[in-house]
Amino acid sequence: MAEITATAPGKIILFGEHAVVYGQPAIAVPLPAVQSRAVVRPGRAGEGLIIVAANLGRTFVVRTDAQPDDPALVVAARLLLTHLRQPVPDLQVVLHSTIPVASGLGSGAAVTTALLRALSVALGQPLDNETLNALVYEVEKLYHGTPSGIDNTVVVYERPVYFVRGQPIETFTVGAPVHLLVADTGLASPTHVAVGDVRRLRDAEPARIDAVLERIGTVARSARSAIERGDTLTLGRLARENQALLRELTVSSEALETLIAAAEGAGALGAKLSGAGRGGNLIAFVRAEAAPAVMAALKSAGAVRVLYTVLT
């Protein structure tokens, strides 16, 4: 058997964070600037299925019988084998990823997707996207408990996703290339802390905060239309509006504001935090010709990593 390789991109939330918890829409898109990759090679007879997580420096053995402490990668492989009604094969899967872990960029979903894609092809039963998505979602439950389904859907289908809690997830198309920069503050961004703070703020001032959340939902709906048109100028304006609303929810930070000011000062059409806030990543919408200058400004202002990607 020749080596078989499969990849999966990261993902990032563009609009709707925090408000999505309260029934408003959110938009997430694939981030191909970072990827997970799985390479399947023949193993030794009788050795079984070996998974090498190169970035973690760890090796896992997939055994016939499930164990309570099996890591997610082993659970994923066993789910696939059960679905395909296949015995444990003598194969080795080596996983590499350039997606930072616990950064809101979909690392868990991407590595699972790459693993299952490559392994199903190696077993002669490649999965369609619908089946793959369902299996990755099951593994996402191990990472997140009650995941929204956004990460796995964006990563598997590699298309923008429009999500409203309690409704089927929708994918949609990009009308014309949209140029994005993703900058990392280098600060940890625990989602549960920021979400809890917003909830307490809403409990204290329900009328004011509900109005803010509804306005964020309106921005997200407008952003979907702008993406479908490929209207980067409007997306920049909406990013600025969304960021102003997120400030009212107290989830911005000095580090984020410094980077946002640097991006917009260098020619970005608009910038906003992405995800929980207080740290983590921001996104900046740019014209292609302005991307190098904005990237340099973000790095000079303290971004620890800046990714350039184009939505198509």
Cα–Cα dist 99/106, whole Å: 8
Cα–Cα dist 94/120, whole Å: 14
Using the 8-state DSSP alphabet, how is residue 42 labeled? E
Q: How far is CA 170 from the centre of its chain?
A: 16
CB atoms within 10 A of CB 289: 9
Count of residues for the chain? 312
Cα–Cα dist 16/251, whole Å: 13
Burial class (CB in 10 A: 0-12, 13-18, 19+), 82: exposed
Which residues are tagged catalytic?
151
Rounded to the nearest 5 degrees, what angle is found at the Cα of 5, between the Cα atoms of 125 and 106? Answer: 95
Cα–Cα dist 264/244, whole Å: 14
Grouping H, G, I as helix, E, B as strand and the rest as coil, residue 251 is: coil
Grouping H, G, I as helix, E, B as strand and the rest as coil, residue 276 is: coil
303 touches 261 (CB < 8 A): no
